[in-house]
Structure 1
Amino acid sequence: MSMIKCVLLDDELPMLGYLQALCRELEGIEVIKSYNNPLKFLDDVDKLDFNTCVLDINMPGINGLELANRLEGKAIIFSTAYKEYAAEAFDLDAVDYLRKPYQLERLEKAFGKVQAWLSNKNQVNAIYVELNTNLGKSRMNTNDIAYIAVAENDRRDKEIWFKDGQSFLAKNITFDDILERFPEGQFCKINRKTVIALHAVSYYTTQWVSCEIASSKNPIQFKLSEQYREHFMSLFLS
């Protein structure tokens, strides 16, 4: 599941503060920054790491509809007290449209639509590979893979974990061989014992990378070794 990294814009400070408070009550939402001045946001936009914007339509200097046209590749949730803007908002392929005053349940529903939008945006074309496994020849969709780890019993084998919680043991194969067969730029070695699927990453820092699989209640965390850090960052942020 993709982390929603959100920027909030509303020229009314009380409404902006209320929106921030609602976002803090929702899981999986990180508010990167909040603005009550859209022109200040435009000055900063290239320096911000975000994928979603909750955008008031009626603002001085530049309105939200004009601003949205400059946010290519971002999920947009429009907000306004005036229902007559709804048609224009959806003409701009907005993910959702909120009427003020904000309500927690309605905001949560909007972010649910954002999550679906981000997942669809990040989905890559299915590529199948065939490997020798403990079950024989196995054909697998690389989109379904979360991570690959060195097997505990025999380092020559690699345990391939899928997002649904299942795993296969790939027999007598190196990480280099796996990366050569798998889609270029979609998998990355992050330490000597782990290769991770970039589409499965849920959180990362300069020290750790985590992903989620169905069989684990909490995200699984892996060390991001210094020798692989720069390559991981370049692939993940490209």
Structure 2
Amino acid sequence: MIKAIALDDEILALKIIENYAEKIENLSLEKVFNIQSDAQKHLNKFPVDLIFLDIEMPSKNGMDFYKNIPQNTKVIFTTAYSEYAVDAFSLNAVDYLLKPFSFERFKSAVEKVKINPENDSIKHLSIRADYKLHKINFDDIQLIEGLDDYIQIHLKDQSKITARSSMKNIMEKLSEKDFIRVHRSYIVPVGDIKTIVNRNIHIEDFIIPIGETYKYEVMKIISK
């Protein structure tokens, strides 16, 4: 099931999307919004797979809004303006629906959305940072560090990627068999936990503390 929301400043446009969505069996349109701040608040709490997104809106251009979404959400742009098409696809948009669009055209766009139901079958992390979509192989991740409203992904080639996300949201994108949260500020690859000294995990040059809340899960993995 594809979980989706829609954001458009025109109520009629949202009604049409709602009507079309009801006819598609594997699509669940969770909510619709005509105010960007309301949509942002919802996304921060309830990640979805897909957003139907208008481009020309009063407060912020829809493309700018999409660039700041903290989770890996696919997008289908819905707009009356054809001139944004090239920019839309440069953002890896699933499709670009030009208003007014038919149900068949809407259905065709939704059918392009591929959602993998199990994180365990995914071998990479897709995350938006620095106005780009980064595709990071799990094997290249050394650790993930939480920094208030941001996370910093430390890669094995010594580089780092900083993105706006919560630790909870990033953990939901990772395979549970490959990664474990060991502290409120740290996620590490399970296979790299080789040495624990005084409740600290040693990975390369990093010494990572094990939080009280997470010690049971860590010890369970080590004892296997």
1:45: how far off?
1.9
Equivalences for residues 76-115 of structure 1 within 5 A: 76-115=75-114
Q: Any idea what the Cα deviations from partners look like across 1:114-144, whole Å, max 9, x if unmatched?
A: 12xx23995435xxxxxxxxxxxxxxxxxxx
Query: Residues 1-238 of structure 1 correspond to what in structure 2 (within 5 A)?
Result: 3-71=1-69, 72-115=71-114, 118-119=115-116, 123-125=121-123, 185=177
Distance 2:176 2:42 in 1: 32
Q: Deviations over 1:30-63 (max 9, x none)?
A: 0111001112212332112311000000111111
Q: How many equivalent residue pairs?
A: 126
Q: Return closer, same or farther for 1:82/1:120 CA change in 2, 3 Å cut-off.
A: farther
* Equivalent residue letter for 1:83: S
Q: Aligned equivalents of 1:121 and 1:79: distance in 2? A: 29
Counterpart position of 2:146: none
**1:158: which partner in 2?**
none
Offset of 1:93 from its aligned partner? 1.0
1:61-87 residue CA offsets vs partner (Å, 9 max, x unmatched): 111100110224111101111100101
Larger radius of gyration: 1
Q: Secondary structure at the match of 1:20?
A: helix
- After superposition, give the CA deviation of every residue in 1:174-222 in whole Å (9 maximum; x if it has no partner): xxxxxxxxx9628xxxxxxxxxxxxxxxxxxxxxxxxxxxxxxxxxxxx
TM-score, normalisation: structure 2: 0.52
Residue pair 2:3, 2:28 contacting (<8 A) in 1 also: yes
Q: Which amino acid aligns with 1:185?
A: K
CA shift at 1:19, angstroms?
A: 1.0
Percent same amino acid among aligned pairs? 35
Cα distance between partner residues in 2 of 1:41 and 1:94: 18
| Kept after mapping to 2: 8 A contact 1:19/1:102 | no
What amino acid is aligned across from residue 59 of structure 1 in structure 2? M
1:121 to 1:100, Cα distance in 2 relative to 1, 3 A: farther
Q: C-alpha separation between the residues in 1 aligned to 2:118 and 2:54?
A: 24
Counterpart secondary structure, 2:96:
strand
Counterpart of 1:119 in structure 2: which amino acid?
N
TM-score, structure 1 as length reference: 0.49
Say which SS state the counterpart of residue 114 (structure 1) adopts. coil
Quick check: 2:55–2:77 contact (8 Å CA) kept in 1?
Answer: yes
For residues 88 and 176 of structure 2, the distance between their equivalents in structure 1, rounded to whole angstroms, comes to: 37
Looking at structure 1, the residues matched to 36 and 78 of structure 2 have their Cα atoms a distance apart, in angstroms, of 14
Mapped contact 1:39–1:61 kept (Cα < 8 A):
no
Any conservation in 1 of the 2:8–2:53 contact (CA below 8 Å)? Answer: yes
Distance in 2, matches of 1:111 and 1:61, equals: 27
Which residue is equivalent to 1:223? none
| Unpaired stretches in structure 1, ≥5 consecutive residues | 126-182, 187-230, 232-238
Task: Tell me, in whole angstroms, the C-alpha distance in 1 between the residues paired with 2:12 and 2:22.
Answer: 16
